[in-house]
Amino acid sequence: MSRMIEIPLSADTDAAALMARARGEAKSAGIVLEGDDQSGRFRGTADGNYRVEGTNLFVEVTSKPSFAPWGMVESAIRKVFA
């Protein structure tokens, strides 16, 4: 079961800077983030993909550990990307 997480971005958000910061956060959390400032994928404790559309970042989690509640996963995703 997958879940989509939508993260609103401000109109002046620099997508390249956002993804550079996200890569650092992901690396420190043991997550591999691959892609560019518009789309890509991640793998680690949870797996999925992301894409930027206008002023929204969509993160789809395609797999997660069964013991991890969705609230915990979403919180961790928001920490990496927000």
Per-residue pLDDT, 15: 86
Per-residue pLDDT, 41: 97
Residue 57 has pLDDT above 90, yes or no: yes
pLDDT digit string, tens, across residues 3-45: 999 999 988 888 889 999 999 999 998 899 999 999 999 999 8
Per-residue pLDDT, 36: 94
Angstrom distance (rounded) from CA 13 to CA 61: 23
Per-residue pLDDT, 73: 92
What one-character-per-residue DSSP string does 21-78 give?
HHHHHHHHTT-EEEE-SSEEEEESSSEEEEEEETTEEEEEEEE--TTS-HHHHHHHHH
